Amino acid sequence: MISKIINGKKIAKKIQKKLKKKILKRKMNKLIIPKLAVLLIGDNESSKIYIKNKKIACKKIGIISKTYTFPQKILEIDIIKKIKKLNTNKSIHGILVQLPLPKKINTLKVLREISYKKDVDGFHPLNIGLLCQRNPNLRACTPLGIMTLLKKYKIKIQGINALIIGASNIVGRPMMLELLLAGCTTTIAHRFTKNLYQYIKNADLIVIAIGKANFLKGKWIKEGAIIIDVGINRLKNGKIVGDADFNSIYKKASYITPVPGGVGPMTVTSLLKNTIYICEKYHDR
């Protein structure tokens, strides 16, 4: 079997085109134009690149974005003060705190301070809780992007065995909730999981997000499994690869997302979608 490659780049482009039209229509109807506040704390080089890309994507479709930068040494209390100000600022609709934060800052505490109505990343406990109760509101961007891809490719997942490898707050856990909501029988594995291979071989769908280059091998997976690769790993030669070993999986899986060009572009697209959703849900009359 040769896998069908899920082209996230193409789907993202199509969706972003529609979102751009939506914003143009809002302008014509004199509705508010979505505005996103982005908080960059510290000097993580990857964060700077991610923010740059998010800003470009916003600009392309007509979302206004404003970046607030803070030094590595900023106190937690000062970040929270800024978030509180942005929460009450009526001209700001979405707030994004770029992760990871410097070690001395309590990430969960900071994310909790963002109003759940401006929570474009979908990490607020209330939004995660709503997803857990089968009543999603703002949804975490990477899992939402993956669900959109599965839908666009008309991949039927109700009732199948889904395995999520990686249990982080930003990918694995919300991903598990999304797949559960979609009717999968879900298993979540992490660094303490024993006999990971037993779970892998029984999985019809695997979402892998562990940050380990080419970890998942074709010989471990079930024939015809759907493989969604979230990982972004830079090799010594500069090449970007995922957590799944594309070459060995390609001949065995039914579908696979490439890295780059699979999940990544969908994460940014979800962010844009969420920002517009906030305006529609909380600001339009």
Contact status: 267 vs ligand NAD (CB under 6 A): yes
Question: Interface with ligand NAD by CB under 6 A: which range of 9-17, 22-30, 209-217, 219-227?
Answer: 209-217
Which tokens go with 275? 């920002």
Which of 86, 111, 189, 256 binds ligand NAD (CB under 6 A)? It is 189
Q: Annotated active-site positions, please?
A: 54, 98, 121
Distance in angstroms (rounded) separating the CA atoms of residues 247 and 243: 12
Q: How far is the CB of 235 from ligand NAD (least distance, A)?
A: 12
Residue 206, C-beta contacts closer than 8 angstroms, at least 6 positions apart = 162, 163, 164, 165, 200, 216, 221, 225, 226, 227, 228, 244
Contact status: 240 vs ligand NAD (CB under 6 A): no
Question: H or E segment at 255?
Answer: strand 255-256
CA angle 238, 248, 186 (to 5 degrees): 100
Q: How far is the CB of 90 from ligand NAD (least distance, A)?
A: 30
Q: How far is the CB of 165 from ligand NAD (least distance, A)?
A: 5
State the alpha helices, DSSP H only, in 29-134.
45-61, 76-88, 107-113, 125-132
Which of 36, 61, 128, 171 binds ligand NAD (CB under 6 A)? It is 171
Of 106-135, binders to ligand NAD (CB under 6 A) are: none
Binding site for ligand NAD (CB under 6 A): 142, 165-168, 170-172, 189-191, 193, 196, 209-212, 230-233, 263-264, 267
